[in-house]
Amino acid sequence: MAEDFDLVVIGGGPGGYGAALYAAGAGMSVAVVEKDKVGGTCLHRGCIPAKHYLETASVFRAVAGAKEFGVQADQPQLDLGISRARKQKVVDQLWKGLQGLMKKRKITTYTGTGSLGAGHLVTVDDATELHGKHVVLATGSVPRTIPGFEPDGTTILTSDHVLEIDKLPASAAVIGGGAIGCEFASMLSDLGCDVTLLEALPKLLPGCDADVVDVVVRSFKKRGMTVRAGVTVEGHEESNGQVTVKLGDGESVTVDVVVVSVGRKPLTDGLGLEGTNVEVDGKGFITVDSHHRTGEEGVYAVGDVVATPQLAHVGFAEAIVAVRDMLGEDLEPVDYGKVPWCIYCHPEVAFAGMTEQAARDAGHDVTVSKHSFNSNSRAMIIGETEGMVKVIAAKGGPILGVHMVGPWVTEQIGAGWLSVNWEATPDDMGQLIHAHPTLSETFGETVLSLTGRGLHG
């Protein structure tokens, strides 16, 4: 006899646990089926551990530059074992907190693989049966691979493997210059690894504004990284513990390890779906409408398993939309063109809204302003003047896009993200006061310039 719940969630990552917490908060009885650990990719194999290592790289850079402040410190040495242990401590603490929160909300967690059959019946490991008045599918994604580079965890690595290495490789080729590729390349390079970054498209970081990408590439190269864009990889050969990556232009790169970061694919293995009207598209994503309803009434899908930006905060937002739909409440579908993006390579990248090119392509008559951090007092004080803020507005109209690259911009994008979502004009934003001295003044100056009356330039 199946146990009954208002909601059964399959997958305990941000999309799944977000749906569970929100639904439980609204008074629903909830079960979560998770085959590994609640927290999912974000907590255990993605955002959190990756940002921990990027912070390690930041500390390393700070110590190396300490002398400039008159602070005498020896050349930093990396003990990756200690950093890895700290990473695990942070992850475990968050994991414990999440489990406690779910328990407090009386969410029942089942460990095992959940599969969905007809009539909203969810089976856990072919044994326990659960019935949900509603079901959320949130099974996430796994790293995509490319032919000729099958990951073995030793020389050919995915991001999952890099997060568990205990020794820094002397050299690495990172294939794919998207968010993961740039974050890992930046981190490995700053810690002392000789990195070659290989991107198939003409530019790194597809989706980012071209001016921002130029700043990132300049910084990567200045710090000793080799960046090759517009290059294909044709396969690899291994000898004497090294890997030679053959490139489409006839050249090759010989390194200790290859990191494959060419995107993530949706994970629906073992999810069943026989006897349901849930549809999966040609790329393996579950098909949903703007309320995250699948083709089967009462069954929803959220997070990386649907074809929307693969970001934890998008998963949370989609989860809330799905639960509000179950509750019959008024809701705004997620506006994917306005979500904040944060990429934690050095220099950091953060943006919301349209790039200049996208705004022009969409037919907007745009006005653009850019301000560099090199005239920002706080940036000078912290010794990080690389980068800029770029704001794109419709002439006489709202701000369409805010793009930042530089120090702590992942913490500064709030103002940009709000202006894009509130469709604020430069005049609206220009009258708001930014504290001095802060990095955020650069955004203030950029919008003020768009009013035609900049203060400092």
Residues of this chain that interact with ligand NAI (CB under 6 A) are 146, 175-181, 183, 198-201, 206, 232-233, 261-264, 310-311, 341-344
Nearer Cβ to ligand NAI (140/444)? 140
DSSP assignments along 420-445, one per residue: HHTT--HHHHHTSPPPSS-TTHHHHH
Nearer Cβ to ligand NAI (407/426)? 407
Q: At what angle do helices 441-450 and 409-421 cross, to 10 degrees?
A: 30
CB of 409 to ligand NAI, least distance (A): 12
CB of 153 to ligand NAI, least distance (A): 17
The answer to whether the beta carbons of residues 158 and 143 sit under 8 Å apart is yes
CB of 367 to ligand NAI, least distance (A): 28
Distances, alpha carbon 294 to alpha carbons 26, 125, 276, 416, in Å: 22, 23, 10, 33
Question: How many CB atoms sit inside 10 A of residue 102's CB?
Answer: 20
- Is residue 48 classed as helix, strand or coil in its secondary structure? helix
CB of 152 to ligand NAI, least distance (A): 18
Dist. CA 190–CA 223, nearest whole Å: 8
Dist. CA 273–CA 293, nearest whole Å: 15
Nearer Cβ to ligand NAI (45/292)? 45
Nearer Cβ to ligand NAI (131/228)? 228
Nearer Cβ to ligand NAI (306/311)? 311
Dist. CA 444–CA 371, nearest whole Å: 10
254 bridge partner residues: 244
Dist. CA 55–CA 277, nearest whole Å: 45
CB of 243 to ligand NAI, least distance (A): 15
Q: At what angle do helices 312-326 and 14-25 cross, to 10 degrees?
A: 40
Q: At what angle do helices 179-190 and 210-222 cross, to 10 degrees?
A: 20
Catalytic residue (choose from 131, 364, 436, 456): 436
Q: Which of 42, 57, 64, 62 is nearest to 264 (CA)?
A: 42
Nearer Cβ to ligand NAI (232/290)? 232
Question: How many CB atoms sit inside 10 A of residue 72's CB?
Answer: 7
436 is catalytic: yes
Report residue 438 as tokens.
Answer: 């802060």
CB of 342 to ligand NAI, least distance (A): 5
CB of 276 to ligand NAI, least distance (A): 27
Closest chain position to ligand NAI (CB): 178
Residues in the chain: 457
Nearer Cβ to ligand NAI (378/403)? 403
Nearer Cβ to ligand NAI (197/448)? 197
CB of 56 to ligand NAI, least distance (A): 16
What per-residue string of b and e applies to 108-146 under the rule 16 or more CB within 10 Å gives b? bbbeebbbbeeebbbbbeeeeebbbebbbbbbbbbbebe
Dist. CA 102–CA 32, nearest whole Å: 10
Distance of CA 142 to the CA centre of its chain: 14
So which residues are the catalytic ones? Answer: 436
